[in-house]
Amino acid sequence: MGQGIVRFGELKVENYVEGLNNNWLIFSPLPYSRQHSSGIDGDVVISATPTAEIIDVDLDVAINPQYAFVYSIATDNKLKMAFDKTKFDKAGAIESLKCVSIIYELGHLEVNGNNYVMIARNSLGEEIHRTVPQTLDQLKTVISTFDDTRSVDVSGFLSYQLVRDYKIT
């Protein structure tokens, strides 16, 4: 199996949960990752910040002070990053994580026809849109629509990444 690497800033924050002791961010699934169990796998490495892997039910348990964050990955491959609510607020947690890398194990990838996924990123490298699998001709239309309808003097430029679509088996 191969490995993938992604920064938190490249993932989308899908949800924010406020708990009794901790708050946590739920990020979009790790791209093309193998399916994780709901227990502790140990095959995901988060760099540059003290972290520990836990199970989902412990997201609101007091965090050992030696860790800035604790994380959990369940079978949906969504990464849940919990943090002590006295140390960070939502914006502070997102800001402190955005340049942190995640190294993870890829699943077994099989090409899905002649389809690609287009990822649009803003000038900060953050993902702002991801298409469903489409042909290259369809994606040309999507890209030209984005370029024709977006004001770059206000929002900055967009960059596009085309990734072959795979089924994970």
Q: Convert the pLDDT of each residue in 64-74 to its tens digit.
A: 999 999 999 87
- C-alpha 28: how far from chain center: 5
Task: Looking at the structure, tell me whether residues 91 and 114 fall in a common domain.
Answer: no
Task: Looking at the structure, tell me whether residues 88 and 130 fall in a common domain.
Answer: no
pLDDT at residue 23 is higher than 90 = yes
Distance CA 61, CA 12 (A): 25
Domain enclosing residue 163, as ranges: 109-168
pLDDT of res. 38: 60
Task: Looking at the structure, tell me whether residues 58 and 135 fall in a common domain.
Answer: no
> Mean pLDDT, to the nearest integer, of 10-38?
88
> Mean pLDDT, to the nearest integer, of 14-37?
89
pLDDT of res. 55: 87
Distance CA 91, CA 83 (A): 12
Task: Looking at the structure, tell me whether residues 87 and 116 fall in a common domain.
Answer: no
pLDDT tens column, 91-128: 999 999 988 999 988 889 999 999 999 998 888 777 78
pTM of the entire predicted model: 0.78
Distance CA 30, CA 124 (A): 20
pLDDT band at 42 (very low <50, low <70, confident <90, very high): low
Q: Which of 20, 44, 100 is nearest to 68 (CA)?
A: 100
Task: Looking at the structure, tell me whether residues 20 and 70 fall in a common domain.
Answer: yes
